[in-house]
Structure 1
Amino acid sequence: MDSVFEVIGWIGSILVVWSLTQSRVLRFRWMNLAGSILATGYNAVFEIWPFVAMNGAIAVINTYWIIRLQRERHDPGVYQVLPLAPDDPFLQHVLRVHAADIAKHRPDFVAKTLATAGRRSTFLVTRGDEAVGVVALHDEGAGVGLVELDWVKPRFRDFTPGEFVYRDSGALTAAGFRRVEIETHPELDREYLRNVGFSTQGTRWVREL
């Protein structure tokens, strides 16, 4: 029986350590919670009370943050959408810093062209004073915007903050768009698009605003 509990203890320890390697905030919290619960049970069996108290407290803290983060993920008061000129220095800085990650998800997007291309609208998604994502659209006329980039930092991807650009902020309609479209490509996150209100029409995903 002791060997079974030892396995449980090792699994808990591995989960806690592994959670520290996660860039996504919510994934880190869930893994750390699971590990701390297992560690609490293991230490309780062997009556190691200081570690029971420590891991129990970690589990409570993780539970609090998971509940709070889940509540905030759809709260338009938490995320803001700021329209910026394509050549805005801070926007260009964000795109340069995260160019490698952006290229993984949208390899056909070249950040430097934003500064010189016309008929393009760009929006910075922020949480507090931190930039968490960028949405860039090309104005195709007649109120239609073609989304060229919809990117979010890895640590915020569990919260889909891009939804505030399309749904809650009013930033796109204020910029004159009535419909947004996205060309189908291999890196497209179809589940995300459905969640924020897009549907397929021919070779594009379309959302009326």
Structure 2
Amino acid sequence: MTWFEAFGWLGSILVVVSLTLSNLRRFRTLNLTGSVIATIYNTAIEIWPFAAMNAAIALINIYWLIRLHRERFVSRTYAALWADVSDDTVQHTLREHAAEIATFYPQFDGSAGDEGRHAFLIATGDVTAGLIVLRRTGPDSAEVELDFVTRAYRDYSPGEFVYRDSHLMSDLGLVRLVVPRGTSGDDKHFRRAGFVPGENGLVLEAPTG
């Protein structure tokens, strides 16, 4: 096998591997890389139908990557749906993603009841992209018990929409949110959303003025 044949095989392998990925950005990126390689290879050996097909796939992937990048910063892409923790939809989401939630939030207890807690399903279209659960610690403060995003939307941080653009804090009369130390294994997510280190963990203060 020549190096150029190996190059062609690489394109095919990348396209196949991309189909196993649930993360939208990674799927599109890997699929684009594979289709570009396949286009170059099939053009070089003059297999025009496959060259044209892979070129079209590459263009489709470019379109979706641009769209996904733009939607990453558009608030209207998401909606925060207020619910009780005991609601069937919330409990279904907790059951479906129980293993991952236990990994990221080992202390979270979805059966602890609704008192003092607020749950928000983060939806995009008719798809649930994530779930946030807050627990009141005072009249104008709360702790983040759970901030879970499904694999497909993990690159697009719907949590940032909730904390920055959804008016969640003002609607609940909150001026302070805290992520206690040891709550989550992903501090970077909260820092991107505006949380800063505080005495008891990461803190988000509501804007004033």
Asked if residue 15 in structure 1 is aligned to residue 14 in structure 2, the reply is yes
Shift of 1:131: 1.4
The one-letter code matched in structure 2 to 1:199 is V
Shift of 1:187: 4.6
* Structure 1 residue corresponding to 2:177, chosen from 171, 176, 180: 180
After superposing on structure 2, the runs of 4+ consecutive aligned residues of structure 1 that deviate more than 3 Å are none
Unpaired stretches in structure 2, ≥5 consecutive residues: none
How far apart, in 2, do the equivalents of 1:152 and 1:162 lie? 8
Q: Decide whether the 8 Å contact of 1:179 with 1:207 is kept in 2.
A: yes
> 1:26 is matched with which residue?
25
> 1:108 is matched with which residue?
107
Q: Secondary structure at the match of 1:202?
A: coil
Q: Decide whether the 8 Å contact of 1:83 with 1:171 is kept in 2.
A: no
Shift of 1:190: 2.4
- Same amino acid, percent of matched pairs: 45
> 1:189 is matched with which residue?
186
Q: Secondary structure at the match of 1:77?
A: helix
Q: TM-score, normalised by structure 1?
A: 0.93
> 2:38 is matched with which residue?
39
Q: Decide whether the 8 Å contact of 2:140 with 2:173 is kept in 1.
A: yes
What's the RMSD between the two structures over aligned residues? 1.4
Shift of 1:142: 3.9
How far apart, in 2, do the equivalents of 1:129 and 1:166 lie? 21
How far apart, in 1, do the equivalents of 2:199 and 2:83 lie? 31
Q: Decide whether the 8 Å contact of 1:99 with 1:111 is kept in 2.
A: no
> 1:68 is matched with which residue?
67
> 1:56 is matched with which residue?
55
How far apart, in 2, do the equivalents of 1:11 and 1:200 lie? 44
Shift of 1:185: 2.4
Q: TM-score, normalised by structure 2?
A: 0.93
